Amino acid sequence: MANQQQLDLLKQEVATAWNTWREDHPDTQIKLDGVDLSEANLGEVNLIGADLSGANLSRADLNTANLSKARLAQADLSVTNLASADLSDADLRDANLSHADLSGADLTGANLLGADLHKALLEEASLEGALITPEQMSQAKVGTDSL
């Protein structure tokens, strides 16, 4: 179950309130599973190791966000801006990443098995050690004219 206090804080100005709180509480488990953050402006947010499984992040701006080791299994990340985001070692199993912008994202070691990558932009994304099938790669796009 999502932590309402964490959700309320996250919805404030991220660059100040949330990231400052994260610096002060680095060992606090972030529990935001199933929350609705669609269309939220979360650029540069620190969500290292956060549980966002089943969350709705569609059309959100997570540009340059740090989601390293985050749980995003079954999350809706469709049409989300994840450009230059750190998704290294993230759990993205069965996530909806259709039409997402993952250009320049770090997906090193991420688990993408079962994820929907239909027309996702993966230009210059790092996929070293990522769990991804050739079929998923064929659904994704690597050119900027593909969205």
Q: Where are the domains of the chain?
A: 1-147
Residue 135 is predicted with a pLDDT of 95
Residue 145 is predicted with a pLDDT of 41
Cβ pair 59, 79 in contact under 8 A: yes
Q: DSSP labels for 24-60?
A: H-TTSPPB-TT-B-TT-B-TT-B-TT-B-TT-B-TT-
Residue 14 is predicted with a pLDDT of 64
| Conformation bin of residue 87: beta by default, left when phi > 0, alpha when psi is -120 to 50 | alpha
- The architecture in CATH of the region 1-147 reads 3 Solenoid (2.160)
Radius of gyration for the alpha carbons in the chain, expressed in angstroms and rounded: 14
Residue 3 is predicted with a pLDDT of 84
Q: What is the mean pLDDT of each run of 10 residues along the chain (147 residues)?
A: 82 76 93 95 94 98 97 98 98 98 98 98 97 95 54
Residue 16 is predicted with a pLDDT of 72
Residue 124 is predicted with a pLDDT of 96
